[in-house]
Amino acid sequence: AQKVTQAQTEISVVEKEDVTLDCVYETRDTTYYLFWYKQPPSGELVFLIRRNSFDEQNEISGRYSWNFQKSTSSFNFTITASQVVDSAVYFCALRKGQGAQKLVFGQGTRLTINP
């Protein structure tokens, strides 16, 4: 069975602070994909990044970075110099294999950036 755990239910920081959102996953599949989605207050789900199990290189996109470590089954997300617009619920998700497969989501982390 697949499982995603986001242990941090809520995080609140002051603007310009760095913040890391944790994601731990469980799977028996050798081929799998990890995702992060953002859900702003408006409610839509916005795709941020996808990583496959064969690629452990860290990814950086502007102020966002992702650290994928198979040894600890973690796929953590760091926002550097946070901004108020980063306030949202962030979901980590896992999908097995290729093709049409369902996403298994974590419970989400509500991030509040205070001015």
Partner 1 sequence: DAGVIQSPRHEVTEMGQEVTLRCKPISGHNSLFWYRQTMMRGLELLIYFNNNVPIDDSGMPEDRFSAKMPNASFSTLKIQPSEPRDSAVYFCASSLARGISTSGSETDTQYFGPGTRLTVL
Interatomic CA distance for residues 46 and 37, integer angstroms: 5
Q: Residues 6 or more apart from 108 whose CB is under 8 A from it? A: 6, 39, 89, 90, 91
CB closer to partner 1, 17 vs 56: 56
Interatomic CA distance for residues 64 and 19, integer angstroms: 10
CB closer to partner 1, 80 vs 101: 101
Minimum distance from CB of 89 to partner 1 (Å)?
Answer: 10
CB closer to partner 1, 52 vs 114: 52
Minimum distance from CB of 13 to partner 1 (Å)?
Answer: 23
Minimum distance from CB of 2 to partner 1 (Å)?
Answer: 11
Site for partner 1, rule CB under 8 A: 31, 33, 35, 37, 43-47, 50-52, 54-55, 91, 95, 98-103, 105-108
Residue 45: closest CA among 92, 111, 7, 12 = 92
CB closer to partner 1, 62 vs 99: 99
CB 76 within 8 A of CB 22: yes
Minimum distance from CB of 5 to partner 1 (Å)?
Answer: 12
